Structure 1
């Protein structure tokens, strides 16, 4: 387990080195000095940047870090005392039993987290499929729009033909009356077609807007799924570090 120490007192660091048989990565803290078998930093962020720790023992009490599990030094010293101070007694047995129960509980939680990761991955897959479906809808809308453009051009030409026919019918007088009726009908059909095209265009615009909203929400689902996977991974890492600490404490000599 990758452990760091955050402290401002070299004596606390030395105590942890004596009491806890672990391989520390570093010690860091404001104005921290001392000679230890690992690097010493005066800046916590620099220590984490050089060698990230999965768990940090906080001897100062003001450390806030969401990237690693922060364990108060008082809790570590207390557990060390509980593990060593009651050798052969019922209290020691109770401590070991509690450690075993904690380890078992963490195993169950880790299994649940694995299930959450599986569900999150499935959710991501569904989101990808929905994105593909949304892209297909947009493609169909574009093709439909091109067809409507063609129909619009035909309607405009039909209207022009109807107007020209009406002009020719008026020019020939009584003999063109029947032709004038046909020309008026062509013009009416062209006007109706143009209005229908406008109505269809409005409907398609509404469909496109809803499709865009659908794609946006699908993207939000994917983002949420990614955040969920990241969060569960971080929780899993913290629980794993806590489990390793419990197992380490169980193995300490009495």
Structure 2
């Protein structure tokens, strides 16, 4: 709709122009400073040069059948009411969008909390496995100690046998048969020592494997701790965003 404004009150006309900034205003009649539309001395000339569909009359003097005449006060009231309605709608839209963001933020916090719970369960499970592994290693070390005791006893017996062998070596003749007994004893002790060494090697291999498991689980624990730290950082960031949204909602509510 093409619109013309007739007025002798500069402030009233300026207010109308502001409200109608998004409309098709063709001209203004009157002495208006800094008018953003073409100005005419009277509405008759304006209608001849630029016909309009609506004339907003702020003087009460316009009489014409060529356009709809709307009193200036009525136009101002309707336009200000429309502007207030639009602002209220914008506020409601902003509140709705902010509430949606708030809900989304709360959902994200819930998800992060679930992740933290999951990581905590992982740590508990890993802690249990580490405890089991430490108990197994303690048992292996205890068995290793027992085997070392056996080897120590074997060494002592070997020393005694060595002394006996020296004594037997000084004897020749019929006493030489004692060397066979000594040799058999030494062989038996050597076999025991060999088996003990093999057992120790197996135990040490087990300790090595479990130590590797410890290292791997320690790496997993570090990774889980890092994930927890990251999740906490994101939660703090979300809480800050929610605080800002809360402040924004409060400001919007105050503007209502």
Question: TM-score normalised to the size of structure 1?
Answer: 0.56
Consecutive unaligned residues of structure 1, counting only runs of 5 or more, are 1-83
- C-alpha distance in structure 2 between counterparts of 1:158 and 1:182, whole Å: 14
1:206 match: 205
Aligned-pair CA distance for 1:150: 1.0
Aligned-pair CA distance for 1:171: 5.5
2:222 match: 223
Deviation by residue 1:70-91 (Cα, 9 ceiling, x = unmatched):
xxxxxxxxxxxxxx995233x5
- C-alpha distance in structure 1 between counterparts of 2:116 and 2:169, whole Å: 79
Aligned-pair CA distance for 1:147: 1.0
1:245 match: 244
Does structure 2 conserve the Cα–Cα contact (< 8 Å) formed by 1:145 and 1:201? Answer: yes
Q: Compared with structure 1, are the counterparts of its residues 154 and 85 closer, same or farther at alpha carbon in structure 2 (3 Å cutoff)? A: farther
Does structure 2 conserve the Cα–Cα contact (< 8 Å) formed by 1:170 and 1:176? Answer: no
The question of 1:87 aligning with 2:82 is answered: no
Aligned-pair CA distance for 1:114: 0.9
SS in structure 2 of the partner of residue 87 of structure 1? helix
- C-alpha distance in structure 2 between counterparts of 1:203 and 1:173, whole Å: 44
Deviation by residue 1:148-202 (Cα, 9 ceiling, x = unmatched):
2211122223334444555555655564466443322211111112222222222
SS in structure 1 of the partner of residue 87 of structure 2? coil
1:192 match: 191
2:233 match: 234
Which aligned pairs between 1:8-47 and structure 2 lie closer than 5 A?
A: none
Q: Compared with structure 1, are the counterparts of its residues 86 and 250 closer, same or farther at alpha carbon in structure 2 (3 Å cutoff)? A: farther
Consecutive unaligned residues of structure 2, counting only runs of 5 or more, are 1-83
Deviation by residue 1:90-144 (Cα, 9 ceiling, x = unmatched):
x554433322222222111111111111122222222332333333233223322
- C-alpha distance in structure 1 between counterparts of 2:188 and 2:111, whole Å: 66
1:104 match: 103
Aligned-pair CA distance for 1:212: 2.4
- C-alpha distance in structure 1 between counterparts of 2:85 and 2:152, whole Å: 93
The structure that has the greater radius of gyration is 2
Does structure 2 conserve the Cα–Cα contact (< 8 Å) formed by 1:103 and 1:246? Answer: yes
Q: State how many pairs are aligned.
A: 170
Does structure 2 conserve the Cα–Cα contact (< 8 Å) formed by 1:158 and 1:187? Answer: no
1:48 match: none
- C-alpha distance in structure 2 between counterparts of 1:161 and 1:188, whole Å: 14
- C-alpha distance in structure 2 between counterparts of 1:178 and 1:93, whole Å: 114
- C-alpha distance in structure 1 between counterparts of 2:115 and 2:100, whole Å: 23
Which aligned pairs between 1:140-219 and structure 2 lie closer than 5 A?
A: 140-166=139-165, 175-176=174-175, 179-219=178-218
